[in-house]
Amino acid sequence: MRFISASIICLLFATLAYSQDTLYRINGKTVPVKLIRVDGANIRYKQVGDTSSLIYSINKAYVIKIVHQDGHTENFVQSSLQSPNIVNSSLDLKADALPNRVTLNIFDLFFSQVTVDYERMFSSGNFSVKIPLTVGFQSGSPSNRFPNNEYKQRLFRTGCGVYFYPGISDSIRYNVGAAFEFGKNRDSEDYGSTYENIWIYSLLIYNGINFRLSRHWFFSLNIGLGLGSQHYTYSYGNYQYQSNELIIDYKGGINIGFRF
C-alpha cells in the first residue's frame, strides 16, 4: 500500500514538473515559467504561480536555453561580446505588461476641447476596457466646426468601450472595438437669445494602431464610425420645438499615451 501511495506521489510530481517551462539564464539562475511567446530578440513569459497580469520580457542574450514543458530543449547562441556588468544587472528583467493607460487626444485640441482616455488591460493582454472623457473649453460664440456636429460647442462627451488587441508585438499593436458614447453640445446659433442644448447618443466601431515609443510611452491613431441619435430642443420667442433624428457619428484621434 505504501509503495502504491509513493508511486502516485512520484507521478504527480512528474506531471507538475512537465506542466511548466524552464529558463536557464547565463548568470546561472534557473527560472520556472509559463512561456507566452518567443520572437525576434525577446522571450515573453509569466512567472509560475503568479496570478497577476504581469508578463515579463527578457532578451535572448541573457538565456542559454529553454526546456519546454513537453521535454524538448531550445538552445540559444550567446555573443562573446556580452558585457559582464549587463549580464549581472538586476534590471534586465522587467514587467512588460503595464495594465493602465492614459491618453491625450492631440487632434481634439484643434477644436477647443480636451479628450482624455483611461484604458485598463485585462490579464490576457488582448482585451481592454476604455473610458473616454471630452470637455469643451470654448467661450462666447465659437466659430469652430466640429467633425460630426457642425457649429456646436462641446460641453462634454463620455462613454465606455471594449477593445481587442489581436496578437502580441513589442512595438506595434492593432486594435478593434465597440463603444457606446453620449454627450451634450450647445448650439452656437442664437434662438431667441437662448443657446440650445443637444444630447447625442452613439454606438461606434473603432479601429486603431498603437506605436510603442518606450516602456511607458506610446503614440496611437484611431477612428470610430457608427450611428447616433440626436435629441434637439430649441426655442423661438414663446415657442419651443423638439427634434429627434438619426445621425452618422464619427470620431478621430491622434494620441500620445502613458502606460503604468
Mean of pLDDT over the chain: 78
Residue 158, domain CATH: 2.40.160
- Spell out the alpha helix ranges (H) of the chain: 2-17, 84-87
Residue 78, domain CATH: 2.30.30
Q: What integer pLDDT is reported at residue 190 of this predicted model?
A: 56
Q: What's at 26, amino acid-wise?
A: I
Give residue 53's pLDDT band: very low, low, confident or very high (50, 70, 90).
low
Average pLDDT (131-160) is 70
Give residue 6's pLDDT band: very low, low, confident or very high (50, 70, 90).
low
Give residue 85's pLDDT band: very low, low, confident or very high (50, 70, 90).
very low
Residue 7 shares a structural domain with residue 131: no
% residues pLDDT > 70 (the chain): 72
Q: What integer pLDDT is reported at residue 141 of this predicted model?
A: 46
Average pLDDT (154-179) is 88
Q: What integer pLDDT is reported at residue 18 of this predicted model?
A: 46
Give the C-alpha separation, 252 to 244, whole Å: 24
Give the C-alpha separation, 211 to 225, whole Å: 22
Which of 5-14, 96-105, 156-165, 181-190 comes out lowest in average pLDDT?
A: 5-14
Where residue 185 falls (left for φ over 0; alpha for ψ -120 to 50; beta otherwise) is beta
Tens digit of pLDDT for each residue in 30-50?
Answer: 888 988 888 778 888 888 877
Distance of CA 161 to the CA centre of its chain: 11
Domain C-terminal end among 54, 73, 95: 95
Residue 16 shares a structural domain with residue 82: yes
* Residue 97 or residue 153, greater confidence: 153
| The three cell numbers locating residue 38 | 518567443
Distances (CA, A) of 143 to 2, 37, 156: 87, 52, 18
Which of 10-19, 51-60, 178-187, 208-217 comes out lowest in average pLDDT?
A: 10-19
Residue 249 shares a structural domain with residue 173: yes
Give the range of the structural domain holding residue 171, as residue numbers without chain letter: 100-259
Residue 86 shares a structural domain with residue 113: no
Q: What integer pLDDT is reported at residue 17 of this predicted model?
A: 44
Residue 175 shares a structural domain with residue 232: yes
Q: How many CB atoms lie within 10 A of CB 98?
A: 16
Domain C-terminal end among 95, 129, 159: 95
Q: What integer pLDDT is reported at residue 12 of this predicted model?
A: 47
Is the Cα torsion angle 152, 155, 160, 166 positive or negative in sign? Answer: positive
Which of 53-62, 67-76, 114-123, 177-186 comes out lowest in average pLDDT?
A: 53-62
Reduce the DSSP state of residue 116 to 3 states and report it: strand
* Nearest in space to 175 (alpha carbons), one of 212, 127, 217: 127
Tens digit of pLDDT for each residue in 182-233?
Answer: 999 877 665 554 567 789 999 999 999 999 898 889 999 999 999 999 888 7
Residue 31 shares a structural domain with residue 133: no
Average pLDDT (246-260) is 93
Tens digit of pLDDT for each residue in 89-143?
Answer: 333 334 456 889 999 999 888 888 899 999 998 876 789 999 999 998 865 444 4
Rg (CA), the chain: 27
Domain C-terminal end among 46, 70, 95: 95
**For the chain, what is the domain count?**
2
Reduce the DSSP state of residue 238 to 3 states and report it: coil
